[in-house]
Amino acid sequence: MTNINHFITVDLGASSGRVMLISIGTNIHQQEVYRFKNQPSSEGDFLVWDFLSILNHIKAGIKQAFDLEPNITSIGIDTWGCDYGYIDQAGKLIRNPICYRDPRTEGIDSFTKHYFNQTDLYESTGIQHLRFNTIYQIACDIKFDKDLIEQVDTLLLIPDLIAYFLTGKKHMELTNLSTTSFYDPNHKEISPLLYELGFKQAWLAPLIHPKETYGVLSDEIVNELGIKPIEVVAVCTHDTASAIHSMTIEPEDVYISSGTWSLIGKLLDQPLINEDTYRASYTNEIGMNHQVRFLKNISGFFIKNKIIEAYDANMLDFDTLDEGIQSSLSFDSVIDLDHKDLELGEDILNTIKVHCIKTNQKAPSNLYEYLALFNYSLVSKYRYHLEILERLTETKTRQIFIMGGGSQNDLINQMTADMTGVNVVKGYKEASSVGNAFVQQQRLNERFNPNSLIHNQSQVFKPKQSYEAIYQRFLTIIKEGNL
């Protein structure tokens, strides 16, 4: 009789969270048991995450999973990176975690330049410069909120924070730590530049690696939910690291983890940190078995969602939307989705119109023209970074793996193949949850090979046409700074 192991995966994104029950035997069975919206809200002067609400949703999902399957082995948690919470000496959360989209870090370089410059920080950590990187958020706390800093006992990143409130144990998992811009992947230690700011080493929880355990569910949680005590396993707690672990990716392959953000990159054995990668603003994050996730963080479906929201079209299903987009692909204006004007998604329709007009292109006039523009702009950015990746790594691309929620958009998959001239392989929709479960399974069985599972995750999109003229126009816009 086949031995089947049952796992709970908590996959928390910057727009929604989901708790899944994943069963692994000779095949893999995925069941979503609980889904909830996760959006930041204003609290005082800041845009924050309602952590108590997040935790309550996760506990409700765990309870429902146990109602469906009492023989659950363990729980794994993965989330987005950069954001964090502070715990005081009494073990309480001092404030809600501030959202990375909050503009408070604008101009923080004027403070951090007294301690390090961007070049030194990149040389030490290999992380692309983004104003919301954890180190810059911490710099804001140190500079502007001394009362808060005086209360700090421990800093925990979001997955570690959730695990702490489930187990009572404080740890910091490696793959998410590697996104903070204060982990040195070459020396495998915290960069001393963090301490230059005034950050205390004692605030860091002990490091933990994938396949290790945070601890067992606390008595309080067990009694509250009426479930048995099981381990909370440290998986690849950064959601992109989990997503990448769901597929077998070779050095010649490019992966795109597609969701609110798109993360495009390659897997390397060693960090790639030099002047060229610094200028291209590429990042070196850590994945399973300390592989390097060499990647670029670019805009994903955030802008598309904002367009749909502006047209109050949330009730339209994906097939209806794609039919409308496909009939509007003659509208081929493009913009840089990563332009700073689009970062918060405010006044999105007018902002896109302005960008089109200032780049001498036709401005969209209806929902489907806006979405056609989004599709062309996204796949153009994919090709742009595919070419940069090939140059930086000196490796020609064999195929592109697209995984995550965006992988289910077959129109984007086909347009990506057409724009790049490379085959696109469609991965798991819930790639982060699947990769999360794979680590839990590997904790039980070191010899577990995901390739041994019976599944059909190999739909391939082959190039059918060329978008060369559109791409050349996109290159012009990028080079001219868009505006």
- The tens digit of pLDDT for each residue in 369-392 reads 999 999 999 999 999 999 999 999
pLDDT-based confidence at residue 457 (cuts at 50, 70, 90):
low
Digit-coded pLDDT (tens) for 98-122:
999 999 999 999 999 999 999 999 9
Our CA dihedral for 328, 331, 333, 338, rounded to 10 degrees, sits at 0
State whether CATH 1.10.8.100 applies to domain 5-239: no
Per-position DSSP letters for 265-299, written without gaps between them = EEEESS---SHHHHHTT-EEEE-GGG-EEEEEEEE
DSSP code per residue over 442-464 = HHH-TT--GGGSB-----EE---
Active site residue 239: yes
- Mean residue pLDDT of the chain comes to 94
**Alpha-helix residue ranges (DSSP H) falling in 99-235:** 109-112, 118-125, 134-144, 146-151, 158-167, 174-177, 192-196, 219-225
pLDDT tens digit sequence for 210-219: 999 999 999 9
The CATH homologous superfamily to which domain 247-427+453-483 belongs is ATPase, nucleotide binding domain (3.30.420.40)
Model pLDDT, residue 454: 54
Question: Any residues with CB less than 8 A from the CB of 468 and at least 6 apart, and which?
Answer: none
Residue of 102, 239, 253, 332 marked active site: 239
What is the separation of C-alpha 314 from the centre of its chain, rounded to a whole number of angstroms? 23
Within this chain, domains 5-239 and 247-427+453-483 share the same CATH topology: yes
Single pTM value for the model: 0.88
Domain extents in the chain: 5-239, 247-427+453-483
Tell me what percent of the residues of the chain surpass a pLDDT of 70: 98
